[in-house]
Structure 1
Amino acid sequence: MVRVGLQISATLENIDKLETDADYAFFFKLTCSNCGETSDKWHDIIESERVQQDTRNSVGFNFYMKCKMCGRENSMDVVEKSSVPYTADDAGSFKTIVIFDCRGVEPVEFSPRTGWKVQSAENGQSFEDVDLSEDDWVEYDQKNNNSVGVYEFASKFIKLKK
């Protein structure tokens, strides 16, 4: 089992925090650790959902798949309570926002898509279901009468020690 952290970096304009919740769908392209096959389709992993209960794990997994090439059974789980917000203090640098327990598969590409939550600076407006598919997002905070935005969104994965 390998622990992999998803790190993000972004420039934040008038934003205190950018975050996900347990219902957010992380979309990944994955590589099988056994044969090295990388999926060509996106797979979603949702912390609040459990799939594929079996004798090895009666509570199931957040994600389960069988490799098309070698037939190996692989799974991933979001590490409980590992999800943290990306804040104004983090802006411009990479920060681990969530950790995954990976068994036989590792994420190699992340697509942020929709479902992010944004909190404006100075107790401003909250925005739900923010779409970062284009790696940029701009809106207007009516409460503070200024623009808010997420720019230059980037992500990477790091292997963590247990």
Structure 2
Amino acid sequence: MVMIEVRIKAELENVTDFQPVDIEHTWNFRVECSSCRVLSKKVDKMVMSGGRDTANMVIKCHFCKREGSLDIAEGPFPYTADDSGAMATILIVDCRGLDLKEFEPRGGWRATGTESKALFDDVDLGEMEWYDYDEEAAVPVSVKDIKCEFVVSKKKDVKKNKSKSKDADVDKSKDAGKDAGKDASKKA
């Protein structure tokens, strides 16, 4: 079992606690079969074949026919104003037979105003950036310059989440997440 930390770096302006709106968030990853290196197609949550376990994402490689899975082990964790401009872990996943290649935040995120504590529940990062205005504090707010990396977790006691995200979504588009994928790297 290989635990991978999904880490992001972003510039937060006048907001903190950037995180999914709820635990039923759809995570968007582009993955590669660790056996034959073929990129996967879009999949939904499925039951692992031949067993009782479930995973947030299970795929069967269309080339080598091997099965791989991704399961959320810990998180999501909020990305705070203190983290702004630095890499921080937002999720830990158990990857078996898959390598994470890209992460696309897309929609379904929230942030909290640093001055007013106003809640922004409609943060859509489909364009890899988000801008708004905090009327209570009379300041602009934003999440921008998002980068992602995948790092093998050094945590010893990673426990599986009891409440899991709704599913993980994999995009088969070659251009999907090209901005997020530019800085994505797998460190072993």
Q: Closer, same or farther in 2 for the Cα pair 1:22/1:91, shift >3 Å?
A: same
Q: Does 1:32 align with 2:26?
A: no
Distance 2:18 2:141 in 1: 12
Q: Does 1:107 align with 2:100?
A: yes
Deviation at 1:110, TM superposition (A): 0.9
Deviation at 1:32, TM superposition (A): 0.6
**Which amino acid in 2 is paired with 1:159?**
V
Contact 2:79 2:90 in 1 (8 A): yes
SS of 1:150 mapped into structure 2: strand
SS of 1:89 mapped into structure 2: helix
Give the corresponding residue for 1:51.
46
**Which amino acid in 1 is paired with 2:47?**
Q
Give the corresponding residue for 1:159.
152
- Among candidates 48, 63, 68, match of residue 69 of structure 1: 63
Deviation at 1:87, TM superposition (A): 0.3
Q: How does 1:1-162 map to 2 (within 5 A)?
A: 1-20=1-20, 21-39=22-40, 41=41, 51-56=46-51, 58-79=52-73, 81-161=74-154, 162=156
The TM-score normalised by the length of structure 2 is 0.75
Distance 1:59 1:143 in 2: 47
**Which amino acid in 2 is paired with 1:155?**
C
Deviation at 1:130, TM superposition (A): 1.1
The TM-score normalised by the length of structure 1 is 0.87
Distance 1:11 1:43 in 2: 31
Contact 1:53 1:60 in 2 (8 A): yes
Deviation at 1:82, TM superposition (A): 2.8
RMSD: 1.7
Equivalent residue pairs, number: 154
Deviation at 1:55, TM superposition (A): 4.0
Contact 1:135 1:154 in 2 (8 A): no
Deviation at 1:92, TM superposition (A): 0.2
Structure 1 stretches of 4+ moved >2 Å: 41-44, 53-56
Distance 2:3 2:132 in 1: 35
